[in-house]
Amino acid sequence: MASNGDFGGVFPLLAIAAVAGYLLGSLPFGYWVARSRGVNIFEVGSKSPGATNVRRVLGKGPASAVLALDALKGALAAGWPSLFALFCARSSPAGPVNPAFTGISPLPGYLGLAFALVGHSFSCFTRFRGGKGVATAAGGLCVLMPAVAAISAAIWVAVFFTTRYVSLASILAALALPVLAVLLGRGHLAECVAALIALFVFVRHRANIGRLLCGTEKRFERRKPGEELAP
């Protein structure tokens, strides 16, 4: 483990990971893609900038772009600190610039992903509005916990194609994260992060949970682009 002195040396990396993670997460791709088509995504459909609402309003192409970009920003927020530490290790004849990078290397990535989720849901570019963080979390987890992410994705697919509820699939896939982290022996840090992500996704879907309990949640349906905009 890193000593207190080592932690002091790596603290700047943690701070940069948090700030960079928030800014990356804040990039409102759903809003921008819809705006490029003349649509304010916050005013149509479910009023969410996520890929699901973009697909309902604008179709498969724009939605696929939003999904990929939202996942990419999560992957970047989670992955760049490890790449930076690896670069430092390889460029220094004596090893890592700071020994703390070796002992604490997972933490900046997890911190970056956590702040990317906050940024995605409360973007500084859209007056602190945003999505629910599922795609961004998935992108980051593919980097940090690929096996956990793969099984969680399989759960999402199974639930979605069984029920056609995107929200239910997202909630159950998220709630599976801490269980999978424990079963796969990912360690206490990963387990805590997985639990926090699960809680975050659960809370962000609280309105959907209410509709699911009341039987008023809408199932995903294929729609033609622009159908949501019809009067």
Q: What is the pLDDT of residues 159-173, one digit of tens each?
A: 999 999 999 999 999
Q: What SS3 state is found at 123?
A: strand
**Mean pLDDT of all residues belonging to the chain:** 87
Q: Domain containing 67: what range?
A: 4-229
Give residue 105's pLDDT: 66
Mean pLDDT of 154-160: 98
Q: What is the mean pLDDT of residues 140-153?
A: 97
CA dist., res. 216 & res. 211, Å (int)? 5
The b/e string for 36-56 (b: 16+ C-beta within 10 A; e otherwise) is eeebebbebbbebbbbbbbbb
The per-residue pLDDT for 41 is 97
Q: What is the pLDDT of residue 132?
A: 95
Residue 144 has pLDDT above 50, yes or no: yes
What pLDDT shows up at residue 12? 83
pLDDT at 222: 63
Token digits of residue 111: 């911190």
Q: How many residues does the chain have?
A: 231
Domain count, the chain: 1
φ and ψ of 196, to 5 deg: -65, -40
pLDDT given at position 221: 77
CA distances 211 to 47, 156, 197, Å, are 16, 19, 22
Q: pLDDT band for position 69 (50/70/90)?
A: very high
Q: What pTM was estimated for this model as a whole?
A: 0.85
- The beta strands (E) that lie in the chain are given as none
- Please name the residue that has the structure tokens 């996704």: 201
